Structure 1
Amino acid sequence: MASWPRFRALWIYRFHKYTHRLGKVWSFLRKYLYLRLLKARLGNRRIVAIILSEQMGDIIACEPVAREVRRQHPHEYIIWVVREPYLELVRYHPDLDGFLIEKCPSERDWLLKAGVYDVVYNMHISHRKCRYCGGDPVNPTADKLGLTFDNYYDQGDLLYVFSQAAGLPALTDDPKMYIPDSVRSQVASLHLPPRPIVIHCQSSHVLRDWPAEHWNQLVSWLLANYPHSIVEVGLQPVVNLEHPRFRSLCGQLNLLETAAVIEQARLFIGIDSGPAHMANAGHIDGVILLGQLFNFVRYLPYSGRYKRGDGVTIVNNIGHPCAELPYAWVQRAVEQRLGQPKLV
C-alpha cells in the first residue's frame, strides 16, 4: 500500500491535472471567440500572431522579430502570444497591436489548428509539452530546419535560430526593451545611487550558476577597492553582506523594474539569464559568466552588441560548467572593465 505522502502527492497532481484541463477548455473557448470577433471587427486587416511564450531571455533576445514582422506587415493587426509571467516584456512594444496570454502549449496547439490566425510566426521548437495535457505540439518549419532542443544552441544565438524557426530570415539585430515612464518613476522612488554596479547571481537553472561564496568574495573585493555602490537583482538573494554601499532588491522588482535598474548601471555582472539579456538590450557594459550547459560547450545566446563583443567580457572555462569558473578569472575581467582598483 502506498505511503500517505505518496498518496497525497498523487492526488494533488491529479487535482491540478484535471482542473488545468478544464481551465484550458474554457480558456481556449474564450480566446477562440475573442479572436473570431476581432477578425470580424478588423474587416480586411489580417491577424498576425508572433508566438514565443517563454522564457524571459528568449523573449528579450527575440524582440527584433516584432520589428521585422511589422516591416513585412505594415497594415496588419499583430499580436504576441505570451505566458502571463512574461507579459510585461511585450506589452509596450510600439510595433504590436496587442497580445494574447497563453495558458499552455496544448492550448496554443488548439488555437493554431482552429485557424483563428491569418499569419503565424511560431518560434517554438517542436515537442515542448504541457505537463498536464499531454499532446505533442510541433513546428513544421523548425522541424524542416532540423532544430531540436538537443542542437539549437549549436546553430547560433537565440534570435538567429528562433527567427528562422518562425520562417523569417535569420535576424541579427540588437534587441531593445520598451520601458514606460511610469516604471522608471517607480524605480526612481527607490533612490538608488547613481550608476551602480548591478549583479545577478542566480538563474532558473543551477547549471548556469556560479557559487555563492564566489559572489560574496567578489562583492567584498569590489566594496574594498572601488567607490561604486552595488545592487543585486533577481528572485533570491545570494550575497549576504551588510554594507552601506550594497543593496539587495531581490524579490522586490517586476521584470520591467529590473530592466530599469539595470539600464542605470555602469557595469552589469551576471550569469546567463534574463537580466543579462536586459543588459544587452540596454547597451550596458557587462561581464557575463558562461559555462557548458548540458551538451552545449561553446554556446552564446546573445545577438547584437554582446555577440559582437562590444562592451562585454564573456568569461568561459570551455568544457566546464559555470560553477567551475575560477574566481580569479572573473575578478580579472571585472578589473579590466572598471580599471585599476582605487582603494576606498
Structure 2
Amino acid sequence: MASWSKQRALWIHRYNKYTHIVGKFRSFVWKYIYLRWLKYKAGNRPLVAIILSEQMGDIIACEPVVREVRQRHPDAYLIWLVRKQYVELVKYHPDLDNYLVEKCPSERVYLLRTGIFDTVYNMHISHRKCKYCPEDPINPTADQIDLTFDNYYNRGDLLYMFSQAAGLPALTADPKMYIPEKVRQRVSSLNISEAPIVIHCQSSHVMRDWPPENWNRLVRWLLDTYPYPVIEVGLESVITEKHPGFRNLCGQLSLLETAEVIRQSHLFIGIDSGPAHMANATGATSILLLGQLFDFVDYLPYSGRYKRGEDITILNNFGHPCSELPYGWVQEAAAQRLGQPKLV
C-alpha cells in the first residue's frame, strides 16, 4: 500500500509538472504576442518593465520604485510583472500604464530573453526558481552587489535592498497604497464600527507567528478594558474568544479591502507580514511583533514612517523567535498606545 501511495504521488507530481510546463510555454507565446501589440500601440514610447511578482509585503514596500521609474521615464509605457494573486496591489497605481500576470519565474526568463522590453527594473534576487521548471532566474545586478537570500535582511529594509537590485539608487520613500472609491464603498457596506483595533495574527511562515493563546488573551483584555471593537483580518482566524465586540473578517476581504479596514483602524497590532506593510502604507498607527527569523536577528523590513519610528511600536526580544515574545510586553505597548482605560 505504501509503495502504491508513493507511485501515485509521483505520477501526480509528474502530471502537474508537465501540465504546468506546457501551460507556461502557451502563456509565454500569448504574452509575447500581446507585448508586441502593446509596443505597436505605444508607438515611440519605450516599453519599460518593473519586475517584482511576489510577495505581498515586498510589493507594497517597493511601491516607491514605480514613482522613481516614472520620473526617469516620463514618456514610457510602464508595466509591472506580478503574480495573479497580487494584481490588486499594482492595478490602480496612477504611474503605471498596465500590469502583466506572471505565470512563473521561468516564464519571466523567456520573456526577458526576447528583448521585448526596452528597459527592465528587476527587483528579484537570483535563484528564486519555479518548483516545476529547470530555468534558474538570474539577476546580474543583484549578483553584482552580492545580494542573496542569505544576507538580504542584513542589508536594510525591503525597499532599500530591492531598489538597488533593480539598478536604482537605494530608495527610502514612504510606500503608498492606492485604494479606489469602489473598494472603500464595499468596506463601508460592511458597517464596521468606527476606529476599531485591527489585528493580524498569522503569517505565511510559522517563525513569524505569536501563539494563539496569547492573541486570545490579548483580545479578551482589549475588549474588557477599552471601548474599541476588535477586528481580525487575514486568511485564517486564530481568535476563538466569543465577544460581541469582536468581529472575524478573515478570508472575507480582498487585499485592498483589507488595506482599507487597516487604514480606518485606531490601532493595528500584528506580526511581520503583508498586512503590516499595508499599515505602514496607509498611515495606520501600529504595534508590530518581530523575532528572530532564521539567522536574521536584528532586522527591519519597513521603510518610510516605520523606519523613522513614527506611529510605530516595534517589539523584538532579540535572539528569540516571535513566539517567545513575552505577553506582558505586548499588553504594555497596547496600553501605552491606547492610553487610559475606560472606567469600570
Q: TM-score, normalised by structure 2?
A: 0.99
Partner of 1:156: 156
1:299-318 equivalences under 5 Å are 299-318=299-318
Partner of 2:198: 198
Q: What amino acid is aligned across from residue 169 of structure 1 in structure 2?
A: P
Deviation at 1:2, TM superposition (A): 5.8
Residue 269 (structure 2) pairs with residue 278 (structure 1): no
Aligned-residue sequence identity (percent) comes to 70
Q: C-alpha separation between the residues in 2 aligned to 1:134 and 1:216? A: 44
Deviations 1:147-191 (A, max 9, x none): 000000100000000000000010000000001111111111100
Q: What amino acid is aligned across from residue 139 of structure 1 in structure 2?
A: N
Partner of 1:221: 221
Partner of 1:323: 323
Q: C-alpha separation between the residues in 2 aligned to 1:60 and 1:96? A: 14
Partner of 2:294: 294
1:103-142 equivalences under 5 Å are 103-142=103-142
Q: C-alpha separation between the residues in 2 aligned to 1:124 and 1:164? A: 10
1:240-259 equivalences under 5 Å are 240-259=240-259
Partner of 2:340: 340
Deviations 1:7-53 (A, max 9, x none): 11111111110000000000000001111121122221100000000
8 Å contact from structure 1 (residues 39, 47) kept in 2: yes
8 Å contact from structure 1 (residues 289, 314) kept in 2: yes
Q: What amino acid is aligned across from residue 331 of structure 2 in structure 1?
A: Q
Partner of 1:231: 231
Partner of 2:43: 43
Partner of 2:186: 186
Question: Which SS does the other structure have where 2:318 is aligned?
Answer: coil
Deviations 1:239-262 (A, max 9, x none): 111111100000101100100111
Deviations 1:180-223 (A, max 9, x none): 11111111110000000000000000000000000000000001
1:59-70 equivalences under 5 Å are 59-70=59-70
Q: C-alpha separation between the residues in 2 aligned to 1:294 and 1:187? A: 37
Matched pairs, number: 344
Residue 148 (structure 2) pairs with residue 145 (structure 1): no
Question: Which SS does the other structure have where 1:19 is aligned?
Answer: helix
Deviation at 1:343, TM superposition (A): 4.0
1:2-21 equivalences under 5 Å are 3-21=3-21
Greater mean deviation of Cα atoms: 3-12 or 321-330: 3-12
Question: Judging changes above 3 Å, is the alpha-carbon distance between structure 1 residues 17 and 343 closer, same or farther for their aligned structure 2 residues?
Answer: farther
Q: C-alpha separation between the residues in 2 aligned to 1:319 and 1:343? A: 39
8 Å contact from structure 1 (residues 81, 99) kept in 2: yes
Q: C-alpha separation between the residues in 2 aligned to 1:204 and 1:78? A: 30
8 Å contact from structure 1 (residues 224, 343) kept in 2: no
Deviation at 1:83, TM superposition (A): 0.2
8 Å contact from structure 1 (residues 154, 299) kept in 2: yes
Partner of 2:22: 22
Deviation at 1:5, TM superposition (A): 1.8
8 Å contact from structure 1 (residues 174, 305) kept in 2: yes
Q: TM-score, normalised by structure 1?
A: 0.99
Q: C-alpha separation between the residues in 2 aligned to 1:180 and 1:40? A: 30
Partner of 1:269: 269
8 Å contact from structure 1 (residues 209, 322) kept in 2: yes
Residue 150 (structure 2) pairs with residue 172 (structure 1): no
Q: C-alpha separation between the residues in 2 aligned to 1:2 and 1:228? A: 54
Q: What amino acid is aligned across from residue 189 of structure 2 in structure 1?
A: S
Q: C-alpha separation between the residues in 2 aligned to 1:343 and 1:69? A: 53
Deviation at 1:134, TM superposition (A): 1.7
Q: C-alpha separation between the residues in 1 aligned to 2:43 and 2:222? A: 60
Which structure 2 residue ranges, 5 or more long, are not aligned? none
Q: C-alpha separation between the residues in 2 aligned to 1:71 and 1:136? A: 31
Q: C-alpha separation between the residues in 2 aligned to 1:254 and 1:41? A: 32
